[in-house]
């Protein structure tokens, strides 16, 4: 991706280095007009009944299914996502949109017993959930379909207007998805794409007609958008550095089988990709040997290939950043096992063994095909290592002990924890979100429907 001073951006295919497409930034002046138009559309359609909004969302799912092949090819060419991962992502997006329409009927309210307060005797009150208004949805490149519909579908289903500000690399895919929603029946004024980079995102967040800001992205970006948003509602699924604990009593072969793809598929470019593997000392050497052996079997190559496990990372800039983090760990004395050679944007699966606590790979989110393997004296030490990090998005623990599983569930500070499954595993019907510097708010159904609505009370005297 390359930018000039006139708001023109060139996005390159990370595998071939050819120009994939060009983006013209919306610009801050046009953002102002778009936000005002979105607020007008919100009021225009505010009284649309729920069954009609459900029809829109169901229609969007059908339209996205029709566009699935085109979107898959765009993912391969624009971000280098391997074909099988891209196909799975779009299929999941369609399923999520369908489920969103089905869950809309669960969004209820509450009748309140006002007569429990003396002054409320003879009155009734009720609370119901109402939309915020205009939602600014800022989305990343790495899952440009799924992470967008996780915001777009519930926000529209609950009656909001949505302004999408995708990553530069995800711009064309966002435009395809917006058109699918419009083709499915969503009024065009309720869903718009704002193109550009940081300036447009900040302008949306700060705009007086934007009522809620939602971001999936890095923690630094979350800080900047939250500051720009001010007092308005902010939802953030931010950075991660996922710990995966392997206890001494775990099924080691099964742990390896699950943690390898969690670490490296999609080139590790997922916020919940395994980054820190914390292994109890009695099984450390065995786990490491099996893990290295399994990693070397992964297929690296052209993302268009049906069997490719790892393609390139999204850009040369990202590849250079990841390589610098590996070099940092090596300079601090860590053992580095690289399962291949770097080629332009292709970073081979890399295993960094026992880097010191000062290493960037321990403190930061790598967002690449790199994991660290750390030795823990026992479960107490594993929990301490897992929590020695500002991030807390999702983690996992492999163990055959119910007591260990429950203890890790209680003590590891993450928003989601899996037992005997790796951290990158995610379902769309549980509350997903972070603790600490990993963000606020929850995605997943029916939780997202609540996040995009607020409670409104109505009281009636003398009824």
**Residue 433 belongs to some domain of the structure:** no
Claim to verify: residue 229 and residue 378 sit in the same structural domain = no
**Residue 1 belongs to some domain of the structure:** no
Ramachandran region, residue 303 (left: φ > 0; alpha: ψ -120 to 50; beta: rest) = alpha
Claim to verify: residue 266 and residue 347 sit in the same structural domain = yes
Kindly report the CA angle at 422 between 318 and 138, in degrees rounded to 5?
45
Claim to verify: residue 257 and residue 121 sit in the same structural domain = no
**Residue 46 belongs to some domain of the structure:** yes
List the catalytic residue out of 89, 237, 265, 364.
Answer: 237
Claim to verify: residue 71 and residue 183 sit in the same structural domain = yes
Claim to verify: residue 384 and residue 311 sit in the same structural domain = yes
Number of alpha carbons in the 13 Å side-chain half-sphere of residue 442: 16
User: What CATH number should be reported for the domain holding residue 85?
Assistant: 3.40.605.10
**Residue 432 belongs to some domain of the structure:** no
Claim to verify: residue 286 and residue 406 sit in the same structural domain = yes
- Note down pLDDT in tens along the chain; length 463 residues: 544 446 899 999 999 999 999 999 999 899 999 999 999 999 999 999 999 999 999 999 999 999 999 999 999 999 999 999 999 999 999 999 999 999 998 888 999 999 999 999 999 999 999 999 999 999 999 999 999 999 999 999 999 999 999 999 999 999 999 999 999 999 999 999 999 999 999 999 999 999 999 999 999 999 999 999 999 999 999 999 999 999 999 999 999 999 999 999 999 999 999 999 999 999 999 999 999 999 999 999 999 999 999 999 999 999 999 999 999 999 999 999 999 889 999 999 999 999 999 999 999 999 999 999 999 999 999 999 999 999 999 999 999 999 999 999 999 999 999 999 999 999 999 999 999 999 999 999 999 999 999 999 999 997 6
Claim to verify: residue 308 and residue 374 sit in the same structural domain = yes
**Residue 276 belongs to some domain of the structure:** yes
Claim to verify: residue 234 and residue 302 sit in the same structural domain = no
Catalytic site includes residue 237: yes
User: What CATH number should be reported for the domain holding residue 401?
Assistant: 3.40.309.10
How far apart, in whole angstroms, are the C-alpha atoms of residue 89 and residue 462?
A: 54
Residue entry with tokens 């999204």: 314
Q: Name the pairing type of β-strands 233-237 and 335-338.
A: unpaired
Claim to verify: residue 261 and residue 333 sit in the same structural domain = yes
**Residue 428 belongs to some domain of the structure:** no
| Domains held by the chain: number | 2
Domain that residue 188 falls in:
8-238+438-461
Claim to verify: residue 280 and residue 351 sit in the same structural domain = yes
**Residue 454 belongs to some domain of the structure:** yes
Claim to verify: residue 176 and residue 307 sit in the same structural domain = no
CB-based contacts of 237, cutoff 8 Å, min separation 6: 215, 216, 217, 271, 393, 432, 433, 434, 438, 439, 441, 443
Q: Is the pTM of this model over 0.85?
A: yes
**Residue 429 belongs to some domain of the structure:** no
Claim to verify: residue 86 and residue 151 sit in the same structural domain = yes
């Amino acid at each position: 991706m390359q930018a000039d001073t006139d708001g023109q951006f060139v996005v390159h295919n990370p595998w071939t280095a050819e120009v994939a497409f060009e983006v013209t930034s919306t610009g801050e002046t046009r953002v102002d007009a778009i936000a005002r138009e979105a607020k007008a559309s919100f009021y225009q359609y505010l009284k649309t009944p729920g069954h009609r909004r459900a029809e829109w969302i169901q229609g969007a799912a059908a339209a996205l299914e029709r566009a699935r092949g085109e979107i898959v090819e765009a993912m391969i060419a624009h971000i280098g996502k391997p074909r099988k991962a891209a196909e799975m992502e779009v299929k999941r997006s369609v399923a999520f949109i369908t489920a969103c329409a089905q869950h809309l009927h669960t969004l209820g309210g509450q009748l309140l017993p006002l007569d429990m307060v003396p002054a409320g005797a003879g009155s009734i009150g009720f609370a119901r959930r109402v939309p915020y208004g205009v939602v600014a949805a800022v989305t990343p490149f790495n899952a440009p379909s799924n992470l967008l519909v996780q915001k777009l579908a519930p926000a529209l289903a609950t009656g909001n207007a949505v302004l999408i500000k995708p990553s530069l690399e995800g711009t064309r895919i966002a435009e395809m998805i917006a058109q699918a929603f419009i083709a499915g029946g969503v009024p065009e004024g309720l869903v718009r794409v704002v193109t550009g980079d940081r300036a447009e995102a900040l302008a949306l967040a700060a705009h007086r007609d934007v009522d809620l800001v939602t971001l999936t992205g890095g923690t630094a970006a979350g800080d900047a958008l939250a500051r720009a948003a001010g007092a308005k509602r902010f939802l953030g699924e931010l950075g991660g550095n996922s710990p995966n604990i392997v206890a001494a009593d775990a099924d080691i072969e099964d742990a390896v089988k699950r943690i390898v793809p969690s670490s490296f598929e999609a080139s590790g470019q997922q916020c919940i990709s395994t980054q820190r593997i914390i292994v109890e000392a009695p099984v450390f050497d065995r786990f490491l040997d099996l893990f290295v052996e399994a990693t070397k079997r992964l297929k690296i190559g052209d993302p268009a290939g049906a069997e490719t496990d790892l393609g390139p990372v999204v850009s040369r800039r990202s590849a250079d950043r990841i390589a610098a983090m590996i070099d940092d760990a090596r300079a601090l004395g860590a053992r580095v096992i690289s399962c291949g050679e770097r080629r332009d944007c292709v970073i081979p699966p890399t295993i960094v063994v026992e880097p010191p606590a000062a290493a960037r790979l321990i403190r930061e989110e790598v967002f690449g095909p790199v994991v660290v393997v750390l030795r823990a004296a026992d479960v107490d030490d594993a929990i301490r290592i897992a929590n020695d990090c500002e991030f807390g998005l999702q983690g996992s623990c492999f163990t055959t002990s119910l007591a260990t599983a429950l203890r890790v569930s209680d003590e590891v500070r993450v928003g989601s924890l899996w037992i005997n499954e790796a951290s990158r595993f995610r379902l769309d019907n549980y509350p997903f979100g972070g603790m600490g510097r990993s963000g606020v708010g929850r995605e997943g159904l029916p939780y997202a429907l609540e996040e995009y609505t607020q409670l409104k009370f109505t009281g009636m005297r003398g009824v």
